[in-house]
Amino acid sequence: MVDLQAAGQRAIARCDALGVAPYSDSHTGLYRAWLTPAHRAAQDKVAQWMGQAGMATRIDAASNLVGRYQGNMPDAPALLIGSHLDSVRDAGRYDGPLGIMLGIECVAALQASGTRLPFAIEVIAFGDEEGSRFPASMFTSRAMAGTLSAEALDGIVDAAGVSVAEALRGWQLDPARIAEAARRPEQVIGYLEAHIEQGPVLEAEGLALGVVTGIAAQLRFEVTVTGRAGHAGTSPMPLRADALAAAAECVLAVEAIARADDSDLVATVGRLQVLPGATNVVPGQVPFSLDVRAGDDATRDAGAAQILGRFQAIAAARGVQVQAIQVQDLPASPCDVHFIALLEQAVAAQDIAPYRLVSGAGHDAMVMRALCPTAMLFVRCDGGISHNPAERAHAADAGVAVAAMLDFIERLGATRGT
């Protein structure tokens, strides 16, 4: 019999333990980027916990930590249970790690009862879901899903000018061999990800858990506005080509277009840099990020096209140049219908009314869909707050999530024979 209270408390406590140095690259809050010392320290600690739960661990060619609990046959295909270890800057402690900890708790329960299934279970700790170090994201899940090539790493650098290839070499990994992380479809029966909701719906509904039906489509761009730097005191206002003023108008256009759209379109500028960045210099160049999302590809693409068209109109009116480079394209990702049904049954078995949601946030599950059927379980979080130190999930909800995941695993095993 699984002690769900202890399992939930342990999962939350482990997330909390990973929220401070040496598991953070910052001493003033949580920031754990891909292929950094904090990532290495966190990965080592999670590998220790996986081993205690009865798993054999390894690091694949893309830096993913993989813990395997064997099925009733040594070469059985695996159900993957995973989420990510990396974080945004000034992050909360549960976005990503909680899903890994819940997977470990599921395996620990199976190990304690001596249960072996017609499939193996592999718990995956992905390294780069957030994309907080490099302009693109989900390198590690894309590598596992077989949708990332070594060439895709070319020219991608972090703020310090370190390339993805260099960062991998720093971990004694060969970027030319990253494709070796790809799993074959016959090796995998599906992918299950548990994650805090990152929204307020479940809390408003009074529900600990929710079943995800799909993940919204995303586009990311790196945009650069190039004007003409000049002396702040001697450059007449009518003769300026102020890159920051143009960028500011672009940012407001992003907001206006998304707000005016009668759909679920959202668009965000989350990062902006002013160059040369001096008080007495008219800005000459402003790079910024653009993130566009919607529940379907067509809405997302139409919104992005409208935004980029508006950028060009602003550039022409202000005498500057705007270049937008697409760095990521993640299509909408529906979850598997059969898995949704099994997960709803598993949630109902915990005396929770099954509640369906679409995820506006991106997750590794949307990438893994290229490899296998996927399912996602959302766990309630306080106020829907995420990507913020105030992010909070509770042990009782985590324990119920473990119970639902184990029920899902049992039901999936029954469909595949014993």
pLDDT in tens, 59-92: 999 999 999 999 999 899 999 999 999 999 999 9
Q: Residues 6 or more apart from 118 whose CB is under 8 A from it? A: 71, 72, 73, 76, 413, 416, 417, 418
Model confidence at 3: pLDDT above 70 = yes
329-371 pLDDT, tens digit each: 888 899 999 999 999 999 999 999 999 998 988 899 999 999 9
Per-residue model confidence (pLDDT) at position 2: 78
Q: What residue spans define the domains of the chain?
A: 4-216+332-416, 218-330
Per-residue model confidence (pLDDT) at position 417: 63
pLDDT band at 293 (very low <50, low <70, confident <90, very high): very high
Per-residue model confidence (pLDDT) at position 235: 96
Instruction: Could you list the residues known to form a binding site for Zn(2+), using ranges.
Output: 84, 95, 130, 195, 387
Model confidence at 155: pLDDT above 90 = no
User: In angstroms, rounded to a whole number, what is the distance separating the alpha carbons of residues 313 and 311?
Assistant: 5
Per-residue model confidence (pLDDT) at position 360: 87
Percent of the chain with pLDDT over 90: 90
Per-residue model confidence (pLDDT) at position 328: 85
Superfamily of domain 4-216+332-416: Zn peptidases (3.40.630.10)
Per-residue model confidence (pLDDT) at position 330: 84
pLDDT band at 295 (very low <50, low <70, confident <90, very high): confident
6-29 pLDDT, tens digit each: 999 999 999 999 999 999 999 889
Q: pTM for the complete prediction?
A: 0.84
Q: Given this chain, do its domains 4-216+332-416 and 218-330 carry the same CATH topology?
A: no
Instruction: Could you list the residues known to form a binding site for allantoate, using ranges.
Output: 220, 280, 293
CATH of 218-330, one of 3.90.380.10, 3.30.70.360, 1.20.140.10, 3.20.20.100: 3.30.70.360
Q: Are 92 and 16 in contact (CB under 8 A)?
A: no
Model confidence at 418: pLDDT above 60 = no
Model confidence at 258: pLDDT above 70 = yes
Per-residue model confidence (pLDDT) at position 270: 93
Identify the residue with better confidence: 150 or 222.
222
Q: Tokens 């030319």 correspond to what residue?
A: 176
pLDDT band at 249 (very low <50, low <70, confident <90, very high): very high
Instruction: Could you list the residues known to form a binding site, using ranges.
Output: 84, 95, 130, 195, 220, 280, 293, 387
Mean pLDDT, rounded, for 127-135: 91
Percent of the chain with pLDDT over 70: 99
Mean pLDDT, rounded, for 96-100: 98
306-337 pLDDT, tens digit each: 999 999 999 999 999 999 999 888 888 999 99
